[in-house]
Amino acid sequence: MSPAAARRAVADARRMVVKVGSSSLTRPGGGIDEGRVVDLVAAIADRAEQGTQVILVSSGAIATGFPHLGLTRRPRDLATQQASASVGQGLLLARYSLAFAERSLTVGQVLLTADDTMRRSHYRNAQRTLERLLDMGVIPIVNENDTVATDEIRFGDNDRLAALVAHLVRADALVLLSDVDGLFDGPPGKGDTRLVTEVRDMADLEAIAISGSGSGVGLGGMATKVEAARIATAAGIPVVLARAGHAAAALAGEATGTVFVPAGRRTPTRLLWLGHASTPQGRLVLDSGAVDAVVRRRLSLLPAGITSVEGSFTAGDPVDLLDENGHTIARGLVNFDSAELPELLGRSTRDLARERGPAYEREVVHRDDLIVLDRGGQQA
Domain positions in the chain are 3-264, 280-372
Kind of pairing between the strands at 282-286 and 318-322: parallel
Beta carbons of 260 and 229 less than 8 angstroms apart: yes
Instruction: Name every residue whose Cβ is closer than 8 Å to that of residue 290 and which is 6 or more positions away in sequence.
Output: 301, 302, 304, 305, 306
Domains 3-264 and 280-372 share a fold: no
pLDDT band at 290 (very low <50, low <70, confident <90, very high): very high
Using a 10 angstrom Cβ sphere, with 0-12 exposed, 13-18 middle and 19 or more buried, the burial of residue 359 is: exposed
Q: Which of residues 157 and 217 earns the better pLDDT score?
A: 157
User: Rounded to 5 degrees, what are φ and ψ at 208?
Assistant: -100, 130
pLDDT band at 78 (very low <50, low <70, confident <90, very high): confident
Question: For domain 3-264, which CATH number applies: 1.10.760.10, 3.40.920.10, 3.20.20.10, 3.40.1160.10?
Answer: 3.40.1160.10
Q: Give per-residue pLDDT as tens, 122-171.
A: 777 888 999 999 999 999 999 887 666 555 444 346 888 898 889 889 99
Q: Distances from the Cα of 319 to the Cαs of 83, 333, 337, in angstroms?
A: 30, 6, 11
* Cβ neighbours around 31 below 10 Å, total: 19
- Does the domain at 280-372 match CATH 2.30.130.10? Answer given as yes
